[in-house]
Amino acid sequence: MIAIPAVDLRDGACVQLVGGSFAQEKVRLENPVEVARSWEHYGFHRLHVVDLDAAMGHGSNIAVVRSLLFDSTVPVQVGGGVRSDELVEELLEAGASRVIVGTRALEEPEWLAELAARHPGEIIVACDVRERRVTTRGWAHTLPLDILDVVEELNPLPLGGLLVTAVHREGLLQGTDLPLMEDVAESSNFPVYASGGVTTMQDLRALEHRGLAGVVIGMALYTGALDPVVVAGEFGE
């Protein structure tokens, strides 16, 4: 299992939010490229970059994303507000190893199917989940869909993976939603990446034991709850 530091972008800065709420910003670092370099320096072998402004539909950090992709020496998966073929192509051409799609992919299955067919193994679908229900549009809209129903619909597609964020645990440093992640990993035909609430090495080991391919870690790394050297040493690959 691989641990992947999150580099979340807002107003050109690297931030961390509590509970998926844009009103509760706990961490703000003004130079995302330097932040990304620091994670690589600690020994992490993949980065997770999300444009939060684009996800909410009121802005873009594409220039910062391009700088991160140009500067990085490790694979970078990029998401946040990716709702067009053109942006997918742009990100892949700029150097993204995988592109993460969420809102449009879940609301328009036909678009996702065509996109995955054109880019097999390069598309990750992000499912933001609050109490087993899937949310879209930057956590603002809840769909009447259970996450396991979504996984069943996605399984035939040639996806690069599924990213499941437990929004109700995001940034709270209270542990991940293990039953949720275990159920999704067991149901999925492709790699599943967990996000939301990861706080301790025990959380990471429990997720690995339940078959997760990777974990995206934010708040615990930025606040020092997890030692990046230790995490990268045990879950670097």
Catalytic residue among 53, 128, 177, 203: 128
Give the count of alpha carbons within 13 A of 184, CB side only: 34
Candidate list 8, 51, 177, 203, residue with the active-site label: 8
Catalytic, 203? Answer: no
85 part of the active site: no
Per the CB < 8 A criterion, the answer to whether 204 and 3 are in contact is yes
What residues are annotated to the active site? Answer: 8, 128
